[in-house]
């Protein structure tokens, strides 16, 4: 054992005495070195004073990877480097999968035995082969230890800041957290993408990006930094992230990123092929310019935290875990915020229901009671016609209330659908009297991702609204133009000062229930679209549905 006061403490396990002596020689005096011959001896010396562990891959009675697993059961987050005798791709893959921070080769010439190495070290001319490998081991451990220490501090600061954020500070502090992480590790981008459950896409929720050219390689190859990325284009999504595994890619290996190649699925070896670039990049690795870590919440892939750098670097297990923890913290906070917003909407909805029930339903109920009393007093049942009309109005209002209470903003499963048949079927389901419908522009509109049943209900309510307020002979036109669908009529229109309130619960400008347009809005916004009221070319009402394209 070689020890000194202060500095970092290395535990080194290797059956080769030449390497044990050389490691002590190269690491001192900056490091304290405890050098042992077996895994059992190493475990005996393993305690909180150890700052890093390195081990040969040919330990007696156990391999280096198995020894690493034993170390992780004894201590947490200690950097571990495997000092392998020869290059072996399978061993390298298994080591990184197990969580080893790095693998360094002893650089012994092929065929060199331990006896020959000892001879070389004593003057046979090959001491440099041994020393070079040990210097590489030292550089690796210092790098791993430095990154671990830096990330430990910044992730702790970030976590404290995020957990202490008020609801209106979450976005600001999340952006600060990503910027702080990026600056600490010299990243060019640090982004959070969320998995869209209804569509095969990843949506950008938060991110920090440095000054990058438009043709930056990660942007060109994968659209990284875009608001939305199809999952089949996102590197390593199917083979790694979907399996809760990190994806690490060296984008500098892409041959033709400037052509904006599209990523496709990987093969059994975990290789993602990038289409027009005709290049393959390994995603099952720990060295690269892009690191995508899964954000897993309640055993579901919620999203990913993505970091990019200019030059390939090693991403050790400790660094990956800390970065992933930040991503999952952001994911949890985003989910909490959305749940809180949903709860606020539900509370608002309950208040609106109470208002409708206590006020709007009271009017037709008073009409019914009054005319029933009159019929009882006079015996004249012809006086009951207004009561029947009021009862029908109450029935309509209750149906609309039940629709809102049961379904609210939510839509069911979506699929690609053609809009024009939905519009035409909605018209057939409404009592249109002498009204007419004209459609235009749908032949140029691609299918939309929608819940066809609920979307049809929205158009039915728009048609009913027009017939109620514009008359039974209203002429209607539904036109698709680009990413917007216009529903227009030739009626009296909506006053400009009322266009912002017509979608509110209970608002009615005539004989309607005041809930039809509220239902329309809930359905449209449930599809992540937008709807606004405007004036038609004929001076009537027009409703503009923005499909988000």
Residue 222, pLDDT > 70, answer yes
pLDDT range class, residue 297, cuts 50, 70, 90: confident
Residue 279, pLDDT > 80, answer no
Q: Which of 330, 364, 381 is the last residue of a domain?
A: 330
Question: What residue ranges in 400-461 does DSSP mark as E strands?
Answer: 415-417, 436-440, 448-450
Q: Give the pLDDT of residue 160.
A: 63
**CA atoms lying within 13 Å on the CB side of residue 351:** 7
541 lies in some domain? yes
- Least confident among 184-198, 216-230, 342-356, 480-494: 342-356
Distance of alpha carbon 454 from alpha carbon 460, whole angstroms: 10
Which among 10-19, 87-96, 144-153 has the top mean pLDDT? 10-19
CB 35 within 8 A of CB 17: no
227 and 325, same structural domain? yes
Residue 131, pLDDT > 60, answer yes
- 34-61: average pLDDT: 89
Q: Which of 330, 359, 383 is the last residue of a domain?
A: 330
37 lies in some domain? yes
| Residue 321's CATH number | 3.30.450.40
Compute the Cα dihedral for 316, 317, 323, 327 and give only its sign.
Answer: positive
- 392-409: average pLDDT: 65
Residue 85, pLDDT > 80, answer yes
Q: Where are the alpha helices (DSSP H) in 309-384?
A: 317-355, 362-378
355 and 306, same structural domain? no
337 lies in some domain? no
CB 251 within 8 A of CB 257: yes
Overall pTM > 0.75 = no
Residue 443, pLDDT > 60, answer yes
Helix (H, G, I), strand (E, B) or coil at 438: strand
Residue 139 vs residues 26, 81, 150, 263: alpha-carbon distances, Å? 11, 11, 16, 35
Residue 116, pLDDT > 50, answer no
31 and 60, same structural domain? yes
Distance of alpha carbon 152 from alpha carbon 450, whole angstroms: 45
Residue 282 vs residues 65, 240, 250, 253, 270: alpha-carbon distances, Å? 22, 11, 8, 10, 6
Residue 276, pLDDT > 60, answer no
Q: How many CB atoms sit inside 10 A of residue 539's CB? A: 12
CB 298 within 8 A of CB 195: no
**In which order are the strands placed within the sheet that holds 80-84?**
31-36, 8-13, 52-56, 80-84, 102-105
2 lies in some domain? no
159 lies in some domain? no
**Span 134-172, pLDDT tens digits:** 887 887 776 655 554 445 555 556 656 656 556 666 677
Residue 267, pLDDT > 60, answer no
The more confident residue out of 545 and 278 is 545
Q: Give 113-157 as a DSSP string.
A: -HHHHHHIIIIIS-HHHHHHHHHHHHHHHHHHHHHHHHHHHHHHH
440 lies in some domain? yes
The torsion defined by the Cα of 68, 72, 77 and 78, in degrees rounded to 10, comes to -50
Residue 439, pLDDT > 90, answer yes
480 and 425, same structural domain? yes
Q: What is the mean pLDDT of the chain?
A: 76
Question: Cβ-count burial of 325 within 10 angstroms (0-12 exposed, 13-18 middle, 19+ buried)?
Answer: middle
Cα 270 from chain centroid? Answer: 22
Q: Count of domains in the chain? A: 3
540 and 404, same structural domain? yes
Q: What percent of the chain has pLDDT over 90?
A: 17
Q: What are the residues whose beta carbons fall under 8 Å from the beta carbon of 56, sequence distance 6 or more?
A: 13, 14, 15, 16, 19, 64, 83, 84, 85
Q: Give the pLDDT of residue 184.
A: 73
**Span 311-350, pLDDT tens digits:** 777 776 766 777 777 777 776 676 666 677 777 767 776 6
Q: Which of 106, 124, 149 is the last residue of a domain?
A: 149
138 and 92, same structural domain? yes
136 and 222, same structural domain? no
> Any long-range contacts for 40-45 (C-beta under 8 Å, 24+ apart)?
41/13, 42/11, 42/13, 42/67, 42/71, 43/70, 43/71, 43/74, 45/11
275 and 415, same structural domain? no
- Least confident among 54-68, 343-357, 449-463: 343-357
Q: What are the residues whose beta carbons fall under 8 Å from the beta carbon of 37, sequence distance 6 or more?
A: 13, 14, 15, 17, 20, 60
Residue 114, pLDDT > 50, answer no
520 lies in some domain? yes
465 lies in some domain? yes
Q: What are the residues whose beta carbons fall under 8 Å from the beta carbon of 170, sequence distance 6 or more?
A: 162, 333, 334, 337
Q: Which residues of 128-139 are buried (b: 16+ CB within 10 A; e: fewer)?
A: ebbeebbbbbbe
Which among 251-260, 285-294, 445-454 has the top mean pLDDT? 445-454
175 and 144, same structural domain? no
451 and 395, same structural domain? yes
| Residue 32's CATH number | 3.40.50.2300
Supply the range of the domain harboring residue 415: 346-546
The more confident residue out of 165 and 456 is 456
pLDDT range class, residue 260, cuts 50, 70, 90: very low
188 and 276, same structural domain? yes
Helix (H) / strand (E) containing 475: strand 475-481
Q: Give the pLDDT of residue 266.
A: 36
401 and 280, same structural domain? no
Question: Cβ-count burial of 385 within 10 angstroms (0-12 exposed, 13-18 middle, 19+ buried)?
Answer: exposed
| Residue 436's CATH number | 3.30.565.10
pLDDT range class, residue 35, cuts 50, 70, 90: very high
Q: Give the pLDDT of residue 250.
A: 81
Q: Please choose, from the candidates 523, 448, 520, 521, the residue with its C-alpha nearest in 3D space to the C-alpha of residue 484.
A: 448
Distance of alpha carbon 500 from alpha carbon 514, whole angstroms: 14
Q: What percent of the chain has pLDDT over 70?
A: 71
Q: Give the pLDDT of residue 150.
A: 47
The more confident residue out of 249 and 421 is 421
Distance of alpha carbon 327 from alpha carbon 111, whole angstroms: 47
Q: Give the pLDDT of residue 311.
A: 79
Q: Please choose, from the candidates 464, 451, 468, the residue with its C-alpha nearest in 3D space to the C-alpha of residue 522.
A: 451
Residue 5, pLDDT > 70, answer no
């Amino acid at each position: 054992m070689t020890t000194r006061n202060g500095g970092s403490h290395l535990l080194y396990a290797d059956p080769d005495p030449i390497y044990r002596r050389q490691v002590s020689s190269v690491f001192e005096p900056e490091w304290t070195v405890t050098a042992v011959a077996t895994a059992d001896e190493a475990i005996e010396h393993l305690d909180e004073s150890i700052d890093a562990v390195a081990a040969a891959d040919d330990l007696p009675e156990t391999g280096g990877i198995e020894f690493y697993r034993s170390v992780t059961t004894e201590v947490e987050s200690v950097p571990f480097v495997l000092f392998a005798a020869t290059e072996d791709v399978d061993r390298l893959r298994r080591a990184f999968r197990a969580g080893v921070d790095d693998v360094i080769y002893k650089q012994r010439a092929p065929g060199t035995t331990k006896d020959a190495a000892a001879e070389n070290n004593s003057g046979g001319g090959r001491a440099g082969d041994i020393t070079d490998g040990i210097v590489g081991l030292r550089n690796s451990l210092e790098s791993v230890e430095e990154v671990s220490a830096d990330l430990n501090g910044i992730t702790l600061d970030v976590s404290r800041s995020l957990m202490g954020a008020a609801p209106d500070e979450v976005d600001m502090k999340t952006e600060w957290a990503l910027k702080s992480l990026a600056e600490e590790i010299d990243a060019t981008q640090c982004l959070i993408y969320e998995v869209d459950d209804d569509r095969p896409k990843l949506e950008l929720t938060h991110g920090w990006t440095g000054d990058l050219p438009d043709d930056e390689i990660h942007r060109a190859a994968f659209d990284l930094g875009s608001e939305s990325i199809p999952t089949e284009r996102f590197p390593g999504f199917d083979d790694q992230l979907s399996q809760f595994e990190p994806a690490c890619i060296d984008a500098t290996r892409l041959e033709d990123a400037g052509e904006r190649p599209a990523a496709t699925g990987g093969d059994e070896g975990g290789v993602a092929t990038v289409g027009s670039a005709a290049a393959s990049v390994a995603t099952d690795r720990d060295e690269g310019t892009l690191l995508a870590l899964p954000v897993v919440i309640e055993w579901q892939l919620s999203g990913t935290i993505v970091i990019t750098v200019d030059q390939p670097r090693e991403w050790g297990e400790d660094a990956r875990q800390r970065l992933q923890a930040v991503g999952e913290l952001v994911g949890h906070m985003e989910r909490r915020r959305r749940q809180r917003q949903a709860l606020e909407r539900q509370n608002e909805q309950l208040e609106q229901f109470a208002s409708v029930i206590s006020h709007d339903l009271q009017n037709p109920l008073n009409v019914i009671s009054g005319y029933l009393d009159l019929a009882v007093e006079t015996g004249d049942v012809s006086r009951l016609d207004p009561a029947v009309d009021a009862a029908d109005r109450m029935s309509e209002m209750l149906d609309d209330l039940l629709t809102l209470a049961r379904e609210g903003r939510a839509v069911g499963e979506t699929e690609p659908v053609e809009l024009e048949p939905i519009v035409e079927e909605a018209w057939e389901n409404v009592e249109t009297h002498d009204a007419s419908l004209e459609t235009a522009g749908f032949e140029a509109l691609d299918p939309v991702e929608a819940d066809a049943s609920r979307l049809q209900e929205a158009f039915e309510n728009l048609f009913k609204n027009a017939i109620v307020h514009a008359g039974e002979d209203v002429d209607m036109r539904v036109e698709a133009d680009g990413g917007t669908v216009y529903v227009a009529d030739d009626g009296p229109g909506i006053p400009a000062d009322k266009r912002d309130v017509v979608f509110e619960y209970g608002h009615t400008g005539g004989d309607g229930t005041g809930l039809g347009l509220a239902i329309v809005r809930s359905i449209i916004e449930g599809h992540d679209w937008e709807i606004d009221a405007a004036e038609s070319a004929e001076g009537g009402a027009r409703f503009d549905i923005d499909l988000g394209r």
